[in-house]
Amino acid sequence: MANLIPPMDDEPPPEFLAFVAARLHLLRREASRLLGGDRAAPEVSMQVLTDLAGHWRWLTWAARLTHRDAAGEYLDRRLTARTRQWREDQVYPVEVTVLHDLERWTAPDRVLEPAGAGYRRPASPPEETVAQQLAYLLPSTVRRGSEVIAEAEIAWVHAYRRYVWRRYLRLIGGIILLIGVMVQFLSQFSTTA
């Protein structure tokens, strides 16, 4: 029997990569705006992408049925929820100030520029993620758009790990429930006989 929603693959589908490539710049800018340019903006945007990756199969199915941008709407809802959660987790009250110079750091045309025999790294923005920092060290990622692929892959891996753990927990819960039902049935069967 075919699955209505297929199981999650361990590699992100090309549609997810295209979606992240189209929305990552706006997601980062909106996260920085909502958090007041705080250094936690990349972390919050990665959490939002991980949530999106975990629900990607359901969202594509819902988008096909309703002919709406279900993934975009979900991305907006999760960004709002993660931002609210981040503010509640802060020990001290958070004052948010809107940054006007954010465009300089979030420009989509930041690439490595040749410098002699190797490549020199451009000036790093204050909210650079670990994936972006590591992308410059790997020779296979010295190309335009590598940070988008790295962010999408990392978010997908985190979501896949969650998926696997939830699957194990459901399996263990089902086994415990089955053993409980069998014990209950056998205890009733032995007392009536």
Predicted pLDDT at 111: 46
Angle at 21 between CA 5 and CA 41, to 5 degrees: 100
Portion of the chain with pLDDT greater than 70, in percent = 70
- Residue 125 above 70 pLDDT? no
Token pair recorded at residue 17: 């990569």
Of 158, 125, 59, whose CA–CA distance to 133 is shortest?
125
Over residues 69-121, the pLDDT tens digits come to 999 999 999 999 999 898 888 777 666 665 555 454 444 444 444 444 455 55
- What is the chain's mean pLDDT, rounded? 78
Could you give the CA distance from residue 128 to residue 50 in angstroms, rounded to a whole number? 17
Helical spans, DSSP H, in 90-145: 130-135
Please, which residues bridge with residue 114 across strands?
Answer: 119
Q: Cα 79 vs. chain centroid, distance in angstroms? A: 11
Could you give the CA distance from residue 166 to residue 160 in angstroms, rounded to a whole number? 10
Is residue 45 a contact partner of residue 86, using CB atoms and an 8 Å limit? Answer: no
Predicted pLDDT at 112: 45
Of 78, 93, 67, 70, whose CA–CA distance to 155 is shortest?
78
Could you give the CA distance from residue 169 to residue 45 in angstroms, rounded to a whole number? 27
| Lowest-confidence segment of 65-74, 121-130, 183-192 by average pLDDT | 121-130
Is residue 46 a contact partner of residue 148, using CB atoms and an 8 Å limit? Answer: no
Give the strand pairing for 118-120 and 113-115: antiparallel
